[in-house]
Every structure is written in C-alpha cells, then in structure tokens.
Amino acid sequence: MDPFIHPIFGKSIKKEVPFYFNGELLKAREGQTVAAALMANGIKKLGVSRKLQQSRGLFCANGRCCSCFVSVNELDHVLSCMTLVEKGMKVDSNNGDPNVRGEKNGD
Ligand code: FES
C-alpha cells in the first residue's frame, strides 16, 4: 500500500518531492518533515549515538530531544523532525560524532 495515498479519497493530495537518504532516491510529500518522510518510506534508524553507537531515531518529534540528528546537504546536526523536505535534498545518517566546528558548519 502506498503510504501517500489518502485512505478514503484513494488519491494523493500533495505534490511529490524527490530527495535522497544515504544516496537512495526516495519520495516525500510537499510539507513533510525529513523525519516524517523517512518514516513514511519505512526508515526508522536515523543514525547512531555518539558514545555507544546505539541506534537513534524519532523520539519526541517536536525538536526537544535531539535524537533525530541527520546531515542535510552536508550540514551536520540537523533536526530531521523540524526540517521540511526540499526537492533534491541530500540527507545522510548521523553516524558518529558530527564535525560541528567544521568549515562547512559556519566556523
Ligand atoms: S525527535 Fe526529538 S528533536 Fe527530533
């Protein structure tokens, strides 16, 4: 079953937005957050924890817990639950300690 088809009307009600997760082309709907789009595509593991390398994913879904960090267009430490998907966006898992002081992050 296509998760983007309305269960009652039987058709899609929002425009499709292609994006990439770890290099794989996926589809989101206009207005979805990155986290919601990944969940709709069956992806629950967004990365691993810094110290113990344990799986991390969506937890609070409102920008409070920092459990959903991903890299977006090579910018580390982005909250996927608070970021809307954009066409062609490149999202990558947060695997390890992000380089928050790196040149690409504003320093
Ligand atoms: S899930 Fe808690 S900040 Fe995103």
* 93 burial via Cβ count (<10 Å: 0-12, 13-18, 19+): middle
Q: Which CATH number belongs to the domain containing residue 87 in this structure? A: 3.10.20.440
Range of the domain at 82: 5-92
Confirm whether 34 is domain-assigned: yes
- Rg of the chain taking only CA atoms, in angstroms: 14
Number of domains in the chain: 1
Confirm whether 104 is domain-assigned: no
Confirm whether 106 is domain-assigned: no
Confirm whether 103 is domain-assigned: no
Note the pTM of the prediction, 2 decimals. 0.80
Distance between CA atoms of residues 4 and 10, nearest Å: 10
Check if 59 has its Cβ closer than 6 Å to any atom of ligand 1: yes
Confirm whether 38 is domain-assigned: yes
Q: Which atom of ligand 1 is nearest to the CA of 60?
A: 2
Confirm whether 101 is domain-assigned: no
Check if 81 has its Cβ closer than 6 Å to any atom of ligand 1: yes
Distance between CA atoms of residues 107 and 87, nearest Å: 27
Give tens-digit pLDDT for 11-56: 776 789 999 999 999 999 999 999 999 999 999 999 998 778 889 9
Check if 60 has its Cβ closer than 6 Å to any atom of ligand 1: yes
Confirm whether 74 is domain-assigned: yes
Give tens-digit pLDDT for 68-96: 999 999 998 899 999 999 999 999 998 86
Q: Which atom of ligand 1 is nearest to the CA of 79?
A: 4
